[in-house]
A = this chain, B = another copy of it.
Amino acid sequence: MKDNSTLALALLGLLHADPKSGYDLRKVFASTPMGSFSDSPGAIYPALARLEKQGMVSSEVEGTGGLRRRRLYRPTPKGTEAFRAWLEQPVTADEVIHRMDHLMLRFAFMDPVLRPERIARFLRALQGAIAAYLPTLHDYLDAHAREMTRSGRLALECGIREYALQLEWARSAAELYEQRRRKEA
């Protein structure tokens, strides 16, 4: 579902690697670079409950061995389907401008779920969208450089360089997936 929060999608993606408890997920956000998400229980437990209510994940209290009530979550077929649909959404200009982190998150989760040619297609679309956006940033800078403060200008220049870096990264990553496809064929 497109109406799920980024946190919910990240949770669903992590559960596709292997079943995890809420506490496990909190630790992932607290201890890996996969962060920028909140590891607070007030965000994660309600999000898991919502996913379960939607039928995206199922849960069971872990085996009677440990005696500790650890509720393990795993994606349902419906959840996998919705997750795949999220991954396969087209790359929009809006996302490139306002939600690049969202796009990188999607890419990071693609490998076990999508075929290489599909991933390559995503990367080429991303490359194209960044290539289309970069000139408008340059134009803006050229047009407004004089009215802007020095620090404002420098901040924008940093942003432009970041997009240029991501453009080059997307290009080389796409090549990797295209090579991989050829090899496997």
Contacts and interface: CB of A to CB of B under 8 A. Distances in A.
A35 B158 contact: no
Contacts of A156: 33, 108
Given A149-B112, A161-B169, A162-B162, A155 B104 contact: yes
A36 interface: yes
In the complex this chain forms, how many copies of it are found? 2
A119 interface: yes
A105 B32 CA distance: 25
Nearest to A37: B98
Interface of A: 32-33, 35-36, 97-98, 104-105, 107-112, 119, 137, 140, 149-152, 154-159, 161-162, 165-166, 169, 173, 176
7 contacts: A33-B156, A33-B159, A36-B97, A110-B151, A112-B149, A158-B165, A161-B169
